[in-house]
Amino acid sequence: MRSEGALRSLPAHRMRHCRCVAALAWCAIAWAGMAIGTARELPEFAVENPAPGVYVHYGQQAEMTAANFGDVANLGFVVGSRCVAVIDTGGTYAVGRALRQAIRRVTAIPVCFVINTHVHPDHVFGNAAFVDDHPAFIGHVHLADALRRRGQNYLNALNRDLGDAAWRSAIVVPTRAVATSDDVDLGGRILQLHAWPTAHTDTDLTVFDRESATLWLGDLLFVGHVPVLDGNLRGFLAALTEVKAIRAKLAVPGHGRALAWPDALVPEQHYLEDLRAEVRAAIDARRTLAETVASVDVGRGQWLLYDQFHRRNVTAAYAELEWDD
């Protein structure tokens, strides 16, 4: 406002010149802002504190877009007396940084661990925001290999689809692998990690905070958002039977909110069981893949993002079950 006032008192040609200079200066400031990231901040990032030392950010139930910065998965952190453990970091550097800022509003103790529940981009690309903290990056024993195989394609797609909102997102491979189970000590607080046989993906890892009985399921649990099959249907259903037996007070799904445990798991279990039964029946009736994809619509109308993922699930189930006895 002040510069506009000063410009008004100048002759017209000088004013044009100054407007031009002012515009350039504004551009330079804006560019500098972009360069240091101020223009790439999430507009808001809410974190809930459902139990002492447990913090959860619920991502949007949406596909990753520039407008939402890839903030579509649930993330959070657990605070011990010595260390913070982060559980998933979001779909972009911007989400990871917002999560890191949320941690710093709660505590100044170091982030010693960044745990990824699986390979999907909406859960891992915020890792880059924690590199300077030098944590142990922890994942399923297959995660490093999965990131090497898929990571660059994920990153290319992220940059293509989100453009500037994907700024500084990067592949960060785990430095500590979990083959079956492992404990992480945050100082007077133990997190139990469990690596699963192929289910939602071949890199699924769950986290259980013993102190609060909070179970972080990653994408072994979808609530609202249609379940996604990118691993093995038989393994997914087997994993659900096992996780259901865990006595948790609070469950954090990869997407959506679990209002009761283990009841929150039931709709997903039904969807996957129905998917298996209908695809099995289609194969037995010698229907082609295309016919099966066109005809199997279990759960239609009951799930968010159904059109984006359901047909892919049918395709994956068909490929798996086609060669089953």
The answer to whether 71 touches 129, Cβ cutoff 8 Å, is no
Q: CB of residue 129 vs Zn ion: minimum separation in angstroms? A: 20
Give the count of beta carbons closer than 10 Å to the beta carbon of residue 287.
Answer: 17
Cβ proximity to Zn ion: between 212 and 269 the closer is: 269
What CA–CA distance (Å, rounded) separates 61 from 221?
14
Counting residues that bind Zn ion (by CB under 5 A) gives 2
**Using CB under 5 A, which of the segments 10-18, 74-82, 114-122, 147-155 binds Zn ion?**
114-122
Cβ proximity to Zn ion: between 88 and 209 the closer is: 88
Phi/psi for 25 (5° steps) reads -60, -40
Cβ proximity to Zn ion: between 87 and 282 the closer is: 87
**Using CB under 5 A, which of the segments 11-19, 104-112, 211-219, 317-325 binds Zn ion?**
211-219
What CA–CA distance (Å, rounded) separates 161 from 92?
12
Nearest to 313 by CA among 233, 202, 221: 233
Does residue 268 bind Zn ion (CB under 5 A)?
A: no
Classify 204 in phi/psi space as left (phi over 0), alpha (psi -120 to 50) or beta.
Answer: beta
Pick one of 40, 97, 100, 120: the residue that binds Zn ion (CB under 5 A).
120
From residue 92, alpha-carbon distances to 48, 126, 171, 179 in Å are 20, 5, 10, 27
Cβ proximity to Zn ion: between 80 and 253 the closer is: 253
Cβ proximity to Zn ion: between 56 and 226 the closer is: 226
What CA–CA distance (Å, rounded) separates 302 from 300?
6
Q: CB of residue 101 vs Zn ion: minimum separation in angstroms? A: 25
Does residue 219 bind Zn ion (CB under 5 A)?
A: yes
User: What single letter denotes the amino acid at residue 72?
Assistant: V
Strand 111-115, strand 181-185: pairing:
unpaired
Of residues 180 through 199, those in contact with Zn ion by CB under 5 A are none
Residue 224 tokens, joined: 């609202």
Q: CB of residue 87 vs Zn ion: minimum separation in angstroms? A: 14
**Using CB under 5 A, which of the segments 132-140, 152-160, 169-177, 215-223 binds Zn ion?**
215-223
Interface with Zn ion by CB under 5 A: which residues? 120, 219
